[in-house]
Chains A and B, each alone.
Chain A
Amino acid sequence: MMFLQVVLTGVLVGSVYSLVAVGLTLVWGLMDIINFAHGDMMMISMYTVFWLYTLLKFDPFVSLPISAGITALLGIVIYKLVIKRVVNAPGLMALLATFGLSLFIRNFAQFLWTPNYRFVGESILSGKRILIADIVIGLPQLIAALGSILMTLLIALFIKRTKTGKAIQATAQSRDIAELMGVNTEKVYAVTFALSGICVGVAGTLLSGIFPVYPEAGAMYGLLAFVIVALGGFGNIWGAFYAGILIGLTEALGGFYLGTQFKYALAFLIYLLVLQFRPKGLFGW
């Protein structure tokens, strides 16, 4: 019974990791840009939800479109102001640029809102849970997981089926060719960053109420997202999804049976091992 509970925790937690990773892999796969500020965009969406809740009493679900919209916009702004300048620069430049951006966003958040830990107190889901035999399923966690899975599906469908999605696919394979096909690759880049923002915007909103809101809130999620993207293969949406679940399970099972202090160390260990034997990730790219 305990085992099932632990596995369930791993899957629920991992699903949200997946969504965050999907946002990162889109950008990484398309532009070869490692966005260190990815987790911090999620933090911004959490603050958005928090302030809408505190000042206007909006339930997080009501805030979802707003916070996702704000992070989408943030993604576009980041693209136009920072990323655009380093897209064709040597790899290190992009790393430094987004790293600096991450520091800036965190410090700015701390300056505006203090480093205090906030929580979204009461949402329609808070405190509720489902009991099946001995297994506890917290409703906020369940909805967060389901929401994340749904969002991943929507993104995958968007990329595969829509005209813009095909334009993104083409640009990912060759920017020059895509341009020759009449694809405005500049717009494609901006749209992809917006999508990346929507991913973390939704993830952040789903997490509010379960996770504290503070300037460093995106740190661990961002870090795990890198591991998950590398595991799943750069640019591979379903790869990121499965890898996210895998990391969630590693964290849960490893934490429970080996020691909670090793939770993340194990996730990183798995990452290192996989890279040794399959450098392109579990699912290639």
Chain B
Amino acid sequence: MRKLLVVFAVLLAFTVFAEEVIKIGAIFPLTGPAAATGVKIKYAVEVAQEIINGEHPEIELLLGKSAGLPNLNGAKIQFVFADHQANPELAMAEAERLIRNEGVVALIGCYHSSATKPASQVAEKYGIPFIAGSSSSAALTERGLQWFFRIAPHDGMETVFFFEYLKYLNQKYNANVKKVAVVYIDNEYGVHAAQMVKEKIKDYQADGFSIVADVKYPAGATNVDIEVQKIKGAKPDAIFHASYIGDMTMFVKKYKEFNVVPKVVLSYCGGYQDPQFVINLGKDADYFAGPNATTSALFKKMAILAKINEMYKAKSGVDIDGPTLEDFASAIVIAEAINLAGSTDPQKVLNVLKTGTFMAPYFVSGRIKFGPDGQNIYSASVMTQILDGIYEAVWPEQYQTKEPVPQFPDWNKR
């Protein structure tokens, strides 16, 4: 009995004198089919935690300078990780658990839009903020939720980005890109992207753009021969692709076989951005382009990015990539919001998130601000093009690491 009292006293002492720790839930696919990606995101979030909690004056972030959150007496942030295994039900359950049992004051996650959806619904129910970094489904910000925020651009913004880039090519290089073909996989991702193209192109008709082919193909297709034959027949100047790595690779091989030579190929977040793309296709991957939140080519142009990458690479062994950077951003932003609010009170943090502008010098766009629907109004992406096997940043100009090649060469001239 006496022993028990002593233990109890010691524990009490710990809780009373312990430093204040602010817990934030982080739900990602740490095991299961997307584990490779989920684990990398975990490393990035851990890097964010280190920057926030430690003194890193060399990293010019608001919270880098001092240890912990300055407005809360140096309170430390602890990201509590949970694994959803690419299972939406699990994501939902973990969100509940983190809020009720762990007492987290906010949530970030989940990479998979299908997991982000239910998890953020739980956050909404409990009235705590949820920031999604990399989940890109447009539907997420169309739900009318109050507590949900998202950093990555959605496909509507990407589509505008595509058209602006084409305009740039036309203006600067006389590329004369007018006819657009949309090629997309038959699922929510592809279909929604295609819808966005049809919607946004209306604003660009004055610039001469038109859709000459709409090619939807089934998931798991055994071949894309017919699709490519149709595309070839339409003779597009630009092809917009919403495809994953497997189908994208097949398309590229078929383009080569059938000698389809468009001027530009732009890809939504999917196969093009997958590192397997260059591995699978070698030289044939060159000249394809698409948006990315970051690329290793930018490290030499953006010092802060390089420093963050250094810390990240030390943990993961690889350079940081776009989606991972977006989730890193979500970790930084939520901590900054709590700090600016001067409290963990959800309503106060919410107000900061809704009204504030957050500096994001690691993004090409430089900042993050959330619109009324929770969507980051600044597109975090930079247009990249694969040149000599490297994702070079080609637009906007001030972040160019190489000039874009506005026209595909013939296949046999690579």
Q: Is the CB of A256 within 8 A of B230?
A: yes
3 A-B pairs with least C-beta separation: A212-B246, A117-B246, A261-B216
Q: Is the CB of B229 within 8 A of A129?
A: no
Bound together, the chains give a CA A216 to CA B246 distance in angstroms of 11
Residue numbers in A under 8 Å from B253 (CB-CB): 127, 210
Q: List 6 A-B contacts (CB under 8 A).
A: A13-B225, A115-B34, A117-B276, A212-B245, A252-B225, A260-B215
Stretch from B53-61, B255-263, B336-344 contacting the other chain: B255-263
Q: Is the CB of B230 within 8 A of A129?
A: no
Which residues of B approach A to under 8 Å, CB–CB? 33-34, 36, 186, 215-218, 220-223, 225-227, 229-230, 233, 244-246, 249-250, 253, 256-259, 276, 280, 282
Residue numbers in A under 8 Å from B250 (CB-CB): 210-212
Q: Is the CB of A260 within 8 A of B282?
A: no
Q: Is the CB of B217 within 8 A of A261?
A: yes
User: Which one of B221, B227, B256, B257 has the highest number of Cβ atoms from chain A below 10 Å of its Cβ?
Assistant: B257
Q: Is the CB of A121 within 8 A of B282?
A: yes
Q: Is the CB of A136 within 8 A of B257?
A: yes
Q: Is the CB of A251 within 8 A of B249?
A: no
Known A136-B259, A216-B220: A117·B226 in contact at CB below 8 Å: no
Q: Is the CB of B233 within 8 A of A2?
A: yes
Residue of A nearest to B256 (CB): A127
Per-residue CB contact flags for chain A residues 156-190 toward chain B (1 = under 8 Å, else 0) read: 00000000000000000000000000000000000
Residue numbers in A under 8 Å from B259 (CB-CB): 136
Rounded to whole Å, the gap between the CB of A269 and the closest CB of chain B is 14
Q: Is A88 an interface residue (CB 8 A)?
A: no
Per-residue CB contact flags for chain A residues 96-133 toward chain B (1 = under 8 Å, else 0) read: 00000000000000100011111101000001010000
Name the one of B33, B222, B229, B282 contacting A221, with C-beta atoms under 8 angstroms. Answer: B222
CB within 8 Å of B: which A22-63 residues: none
Q: Is the CB of A6 within 8 A of B216?
A: no
Bound together, the chains give a CA A246 to CA B407 distance in angstroms of 40
Q: Is A220 an interface residue (CB 8 A)?
A: yes
Q: Is the CB of A219 within 8 A of B280?
A: no
Q: Is the CB of B226 within 8 A of A119?
A: no
Q: Is the CB of B216 within 8 A of A224?
A: no
Q: Is A234 an interface residue (CB 8 A)?
A: no
Q: Is the CB of B280 within 8 A of A119?
A: yes
Bound together, the chains give a CA A261 to CA B244 distance in angstroms of 16
Residue numbers in A under 8 Å from B276 (CB-CB): 116-118
Residue numbers in A under 8 Å from B222 (CB-CB): 13, 17, 211, 220-221, 224
Bound together, the chains give a CA A210 to CA B282 distance in angstroms of 15
Bound together, the chains give a CA A263 to CA B223 distance in angstroms of 11
Name the one of B36, B230, B245, B246 contacting A260, with C-beta atoms under 8 angstroms. Answer: B230
Rounded to whole Å, the gap between the CB of A49 and the closest CB of chain B is 15
Residue numbers in B under 8 Å from A119 (CB-CB): 249, 280
Residue of A nearest to B271 (CB): A117
Interface of A is mostly: helix
Residue numbers in B under 8 Å from A220 (CB-CB): 220-222
Rounded to whole Å, the gap between the CB of B392 and the closest CB of chain A is 23
Known A119-B280, A256-B230: A214·B217 in contact at CB below 8 Å: no
A-B contact count (CB 8 A): 86
Residue of A nearest to B86 (CB): A115
Q: Is A264 an interface residue (CB 8 A)?
A: yes
Bound together, the chains give a CA A17 to CA B223 distance in angstroms of 12
Residue numbers in B under 8 Å from A6 (CB-CB): 226, 229
Residue of A nearest to B275 (CB): A116
Seed contacts A13-B222, A117-B249; 16 additional CB < 8 Å A-B pairs: A2-B229, A114-B36, A115-B33, A116-B245, A116-B276, A117-B245, A118-B276, A119-B280, A210-B223, A212-B246, A220-B222, A221-B222, A224-B222, A252-B225, A255-B226, A261-B218
Per-residue CB contact flags for chain A residues 137-150 toward chain B (1 = under 8 Å, else 0) read: 01001000000000
Residue numbers in B under 8 Å from A221 (CB-CB): 222
Residue of B nearest to A263 (CB): B218
Bound together, the chains give a CA A118 to CA B250 distance in angstroms of 11
Rounded to whole Å, the gap between the CB of A257 and the closest CB of chain B is 10
Q: Is the CB of A121 within 8 A of B280?
A: yes
CB within 8 Å of B: which A189-203 residues: none
Residue numbers in A under 8 Å from B223 (CB-CB): 9, 13, 210-211
Known A119-B280, A127-B256, A264-B218: A256·B226 in contact at CB below 8 Å: yes
Bound together, the chains give a CA A6 to CA B225 distance in angstroms of 8
Bound together, the chains give a CA A119 to CA B223 distance in angstroms of 14
Residue of B nearest to A252 (CB): B226
Bound together, the chains give a CA A226 to CA B217 distance in angstroms of 21
Known A117-B276, A136-B259, A212-B246: A9·B218 in contact at CB below 8 Å: no
Rounded to whole Å, the gap between the CB of B114 and the closest CB of chain A is 15
Rounded to whole Å, the gap between the CB of B64 and the closest CB of chain A is 35
Residue numbers in B under 8 Å from A9 (CB-CB): 223, 225-226, 229
Rounded to whole Å, the gap between the CB of A253 and the closest CB of chain B is 9
Residue of A nearest to B191 (CB): A261
Per-residue CB contact flags for chain A residues 241-284 toward chain B (1 = under 8 Å, else 0) read: 00000000001100110011101100000000000000000000
Rounded to whole Å, the gap between the CB of B234 and the closest CB of chain A is 12
Rounded to whole Å, the gap between the CB of A125 and the closest CB of chain B is 11
Rounded to whole Å, the gap between the CB of A167 and the closest CB of chain B is 34
Known A110-B33, A138-B257, A260-B217: A251·B246 in contact at CB below 8 Å: no
Bound together, the chains give a CA A136 to CA B225 distance in angstroms of 11
Residue of A nearest to B223 (CB): A13
Bound together, the chains give a CA A49 to CA B318 distance in angstroms of 28
